[in-house]
């Protein structure tokens, strides 16, 4: 029996023949038309950097350092390789199908509607939770300068401001995020320069390289520590997939998307691997405290005046930049779900500026929910949601590799121009991410990933089957009424 596309008002065959599969894919892709292609290649690149470089690098890097010691350099290098495999897969599919629903749409076309449903909702809830945590963090940072001002004041101000930025137009969002992300890039470059100057003694007392092998050696916790450190490294690289989402609004996706993916990964690898290498060289790994940013310690070692205030401004900017990117991401995900018939139709409507305004507003609920949860539920429910969020990111990356394996079997030969020949790159990426997901059980602070993620996956799967049964029933009733 055929189901009905809510936007096209025509049956989409579930036949598995090549012709019908192509027609079904074309119908799915046409659903997301209407978004305006106003993002330039440079904006796409900076948006990806803004989404990937968050407070995890500036504040959470100590967790991976404590897990692996100086060997964390290898952890971040391995994370970069896994991300490269993902970029190859995403580039091929995003250029072939430049739509806002991106990997969720690809999974719906090449795997099953369940995959598209679960991936987009998992990603949406993960990013909504991230938005909530980031706005609370931003409020905490602001209290460094204005301790007497209640946190809710900052939350309201930041929430309204960023919703306004996203609501105006995608071009306005792109320009705003470009400069937001630039602050983080400049800060990391300054950090790398200062760190190297401290290591080599250029203008400062020379630290040298003793911290790489002292304090228990380069691998104080062995290769197991390096393996556990990969989990936090992957957490740092999450966000690079935003490039595929921007394909739906990129001015020239055939050129902008592959270029942005290459530039983003190259810069992230330099910033993350280089930044971590400098960090464990300047600061003994066993002194990387979890309560203070290791980046602040390095700036203090260089005797930079007001280092704490400077880094507080940077992490504030990092939080706001990530919020801005995640608002964009979540609004496009729920827009795509609506156009596919998986969410209320109002979320699929566009404003005069070409922005899915209702989708944007519903995606901002995490900002206000986070304040309530932080005040009344403390760590219990909120930490559980954060675990679901990390699981959502890993799950989406794994499903991207699975989708790419099927894409390579069905796509035209001319579309296969980024990843190496054969299925091996995606198989390797899938195996690596599976190992990372399992390893979170032994990483301090990340066990909640499996504890929260698996129940979430079961819940959203039940939601899909309930939706599918209701939709099938509606299609039967509609066919009966048409026949009568």
- Those residues whose C-beta lies under 8 Å from the C-beta of residue 5, and which sit 6 or more positions away, are 11, 12, 27, 28, 31, 341
pLDDT tens for each residue of 205-230: 888 888 898 888 899 988 988 988 88
Q: Is the sign of the CA dihedral 396, 419, 28, 174 positive or negative? A: positive
3 strand-pairing partners:
12
pLDDT reported for residue 376: 65
DSSP 54: S
> Between these two residues, 388 and 354, which has the higher pLDDT value?
354
Is pLDDT at 59 greater than 60 in this prediction?
no
pLDDT reported for residue 126: 82
Average model confidence (pLDDT) for the chain? Answer: 78
Q: Which residue has the tokens 């949406």?
A: 124
Rounded to the nearest 10 degrees, the angle between the axes of helix 307-339 and helix 294-301 is 150
Is pLDDT at 3 greater than 50 in this prediction?
no
Q: Using 50, 70 and 90 to split pLDDT, how confident is the model at 181?
A: confident
Quick check: pTM over 0.85?
no
Least confident window among 171-185, 221-235, 287-301, 445-459: 287-301
> Between these two residues, 399 and 449, which has the higher pLDDT value?
399
Rounded to an integer, what distance in angstroms lies between the CA atom of residue 388 and that of residue 378? 17
Instruction: Give the highest mean pLDDT range of 72-81, 95-104, 250-259, 384-393.
Output: 72-81
Q: Which of 23, 16, 26, 117 is nearest to 341 (CA)?
A: 117
In the chain, % helix, strand, coil (3-state, to 5) comes to 75, 0, 25
Rounded to an integer, what distance in angstroms lies between the CA atom of residue 78 and that of residue 1? 46
Q: Using 50, 70 and 90 to split pLDDT, how confident is the model at 111?
A: very high
């Amino acid at each position: 029996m055929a189901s009905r596309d809510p936007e096209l008002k025509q049956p989409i065959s579930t036949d598995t023949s090549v012709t019908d599969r192509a027609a079904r894919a074309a119908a799915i892709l046409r659903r997301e038309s209407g978004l305006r292609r106003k993002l330039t290649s440079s904006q796409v690149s900076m948006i990806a950097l803004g989404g990937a470089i968050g407070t995890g690098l500036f504040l959470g890097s100590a967790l991976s350092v404590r897990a692996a010691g100086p060997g964390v350099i290898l952890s971040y290098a391995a994370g970069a390789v896994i991300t490269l495999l993902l970029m190859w897969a995403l580039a091929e599919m995003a250029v072939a199908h430049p739509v806002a629903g991106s990997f969720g749409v690809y999974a719906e076309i090449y795997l099953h509607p369940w995959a598209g449903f679960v991936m987009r909702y998992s990603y949406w809830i993960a990013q909504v939770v991230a938005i909530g945590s980031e706005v609370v963090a931003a409020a905490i940072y602001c209290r460094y300068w204005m301790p007497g001002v209640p946190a809710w004041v900052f939350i309201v101000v930041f929430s309204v401001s960023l919703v306004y930025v996203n609501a105006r137009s995608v071009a306005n969002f792109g320009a705003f995020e470009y400069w937001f992300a630039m602050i983080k890039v400049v800060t990391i470059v300054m950090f790398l320069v200062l760190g190297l100057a401290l290591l080599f003694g250029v203008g400062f007392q020379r630290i040298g390289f003793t911290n790489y092998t002292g304090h228990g050696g380069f691998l104080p916790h062995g290769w197991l520590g390096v393996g556990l450190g990969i989990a936090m490294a992957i957490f740092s690289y999450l966000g690079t997939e935003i490039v595929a989402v921007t394909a739906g609004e990129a001015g020239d996706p055939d050129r902008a998307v592959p270029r942005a993916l290459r530039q983003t990964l190259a810069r992230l690898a330099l910033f993350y691997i280089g930044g971590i290498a400098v960090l464990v060289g300047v600061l003994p790994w066993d002194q990387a405290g979890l309560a203070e940013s290791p980046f602040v310690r390095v700036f203090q070692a260089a005797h930079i005046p007001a280092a704490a205030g400077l880094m507080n401004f940077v992490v504030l900017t990092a939080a706001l930049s990530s919020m801005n990117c995640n608002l964009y991401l979540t609004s496009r995900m729920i827009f795509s779900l609506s156009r596919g018939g998986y969410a209320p139709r109002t979320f699929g409507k566009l404003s005069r500026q070409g922005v899915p305004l209702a989708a944007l507003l519903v995606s901002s609920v995490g900002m206000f929910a986070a304040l309530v949860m932080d005040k009344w539920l403390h760590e219990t429910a909120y930490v559980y949601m954060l675990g679901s969020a990390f699981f959502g990111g890993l799950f989406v990356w794994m499903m991207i590799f699975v989708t790419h394996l099927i894409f390579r079997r069905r796509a035209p030969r001319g579309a296969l121009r980024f990843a190496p020949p054969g299925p091996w790159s995606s198989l390797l990426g899938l195996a690596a991410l599976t190992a990372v997901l399992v390893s979170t059980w032994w990483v301090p602070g990340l066990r909640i990933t499996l504890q929260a993620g698996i129940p979430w996956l079961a819940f959203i799967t039940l939601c899909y089957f309930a939706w599918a049964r209701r939709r099938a029933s509606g299609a039967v009733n509609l066919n009966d009424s048409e026949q009568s």
